[in-house]
């Protein structure tokens, strides 16, 4: 890095930090990647307009690092910042804008998938609870309660059927 020649506040140093964040992210060294990404963001915000596309690039990298670390909500915040900048400065049809939109869709899919698995887990617990409560065959509970997984309002009806 040209830190000695350029000084710590030069914009090219921010570019180097940004590149190092990308490299460490590819190496799955997310803490190091985050460290350099934050340095790049701080320096770019100090030297460039807050809506500059290079600032958006750094927000995008920080979003991706957080996504890979499992910090989905933080990733969403960074991606939304990048999207705002790209939409304003580059337009909604620009490739960078479209890449961030795709990243946000992945986050939404992850959220929906997580909700589905939580509901499935709840359904299994419900079936086991029913078996325990009425000491019956699990297959009967699964057959009758299967529809409650898709329609929770049927839980009461299922209990009535099981107890009859």
Q: What are the tens digits of pLDDT across the range 46-64? A: 999 999 999 999 999 999 9
Query: Residue 16: in which H helix or E strand, if any?
Result: helix 11-26
**Res 125: pLDDT:** 61
**C-alpha span between 119 and 96 (Å, rounded):** 35
> Residues 43, 14: contact at Cβ < 8 Å?
yes
Just give the CATH number of 1-91: 1.25.40.10
Cα→Cα distances 145→148, 161, 163, Å: 5, 10, 13
Q: What are the tens digits of pLDDT across the range 73-122? A: 999 999 999 999 999 999 999 999 999 999 998 887 766 666 666 666 66
pLDDT-derived band at 6, boundaries 50, 70, 90: confident
Mean pLDDT of the chain: 80
**3-class secondary structure for 64-88?**
HHHHHHCCHHHHHHHHHHHHHHHHH
């Amino acid at each position: 890095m040209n830190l000695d020649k350029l000084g710590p506040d030069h914009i090219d140093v921010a570019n180097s930090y940004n590149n190092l964040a990308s490299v460490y992210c590819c190496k799955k060294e997310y803490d190091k990647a985050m460290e350099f990404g934050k340095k790049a963001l701080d320096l770019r915000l100090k030297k460039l307009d807050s809506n500059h596309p290079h600032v958006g690039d750094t927000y995008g990298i920080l979003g991706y690092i957080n996504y890979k670390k499992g910090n989905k909500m933080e990733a969403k915040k960074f991606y939304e910042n990048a999207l705002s900048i790209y939409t304003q400065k580059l337009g909604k049809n620009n490739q960078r804008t479209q890449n961030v939109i795709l990243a946000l869709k992945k986050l939404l899919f992850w959220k929906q998938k997580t909700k589905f698995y939580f509901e499935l887990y709840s359904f299994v617990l419900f079936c086991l609870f029913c078996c325990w409560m009425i000491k019956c065959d699990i297959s009967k509970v699964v057959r009758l309660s299967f529809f409650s997984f898709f329609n929770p309002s049927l839980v009461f009806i299922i209990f009535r059927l099981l107890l009859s």
